[in-house]
Amino acid sequence: MPSPVNFDSITLDSMLADWISALREYAVEAVVVLGPDPFGQRQDRVVAAVHPPRLREPASALAESQDFGAPWRESDAPLVAWQHIANSDAGGDRWRLLWLAHGFQSVVRVEFPLPSGRAFECFMFSPRQFHDRAEAAALVWSALNIWPLFKRTMAAAGSPLSPRESECLALAFEGLTARQTGERLRCTERTVNYHMANAMAKLRVDNKMSAIQRACWLGVI
């Protein structure tokens, strides 16, 4: 399993630390971002980011579980969840036991949907129980506000694609042909096709549509 992106990005890790600091009044002490495995099945998730880093193991256990993942989305469950970890019906799950062992009591989860049934999921953990729905709502508001910048920073730090390859995929996603993309980027159609071929190789696909889809799952588009 790849390392969380923030382990190799000072900028992203600092952003997570600042975010947790801003949530201090709600006693939030950990944030985990799960993303789809771009090379796996619909239910496969990876730890895109976790702070503090010492919580990688319980974050990985959460990613490996089925909780809040594909079955949750397919049941038309809400995009936001708030749970007291110890009081959950599935309180014996490994990820819950690990988070409880680290002293955490509550988790608030926000989903950011992606194409083909995938999603990014943001989890905020607190060592105390929330007794007021307004507290959970405040955490959701915080996540929604930071997400655009966080996603862009995470994609820039973790994407295997070059900036030009990402641009070509983004314009293809808008419906532009290779010729139109070349005109937009002021390069030849041949150059655009070269970048697209490189992108498809890096994303392990053999057609443009699949490359666009996997770029979305990486947060590049």
Rounded to a whole number of angstroms, the CA Rg of the chain reads 19
State residue 91's pLDDT score.
53
State residue 89's pLDDT score.
62
Exposure string for 64-97, b = 16+ CB within 10 A, e = fewer: beebbbbebbeeeeeeebbbebeeeeeeebebbe
Give pLDDT tens digits along the chain (221 positions): 678 999 999 999 999 999 999 999 899 999 999 999 999 999 999 999 999 999 999 999 999 998 999 999 889 899 999 999 987 665 568 999 999 999 999 999 999 999 888 999 999 999 998 888 888 999 999 999 999 999 999 999 989 999 999 999 999 999 999 999 999 999 999 999 999 999 999 999 999 999 999 999 999 98
* Residue 26 CB-half CA count within 13 A: 26
- In DSSP notation, 121-136 reads EEEEEESS----HHHH
Which positions ≥6 away from 32 have C-beta within 8 Å?
47, 49, 50, 55, 59, 62, 122, 123, 125
State residue 221's pLDDT score.
87
**Side by side, which strands form the sheet with 45-51?**
45-51, 30-36, 119-126, 106-113, 80-84
State residue 90's pLDDT score.
55
Which positions ≥6 away from 175 have C-beta within 8 Å?
none
24-48 tens-digit pLDDT: 989 999 999 999 999 999 999 999 9
55-89 tens-digit pLDDT: 999 999 999 998 999 999 889 899 999 999 987 66
State residue 1's pLDDT score.
66
State residue 66's pLDDT score.
86
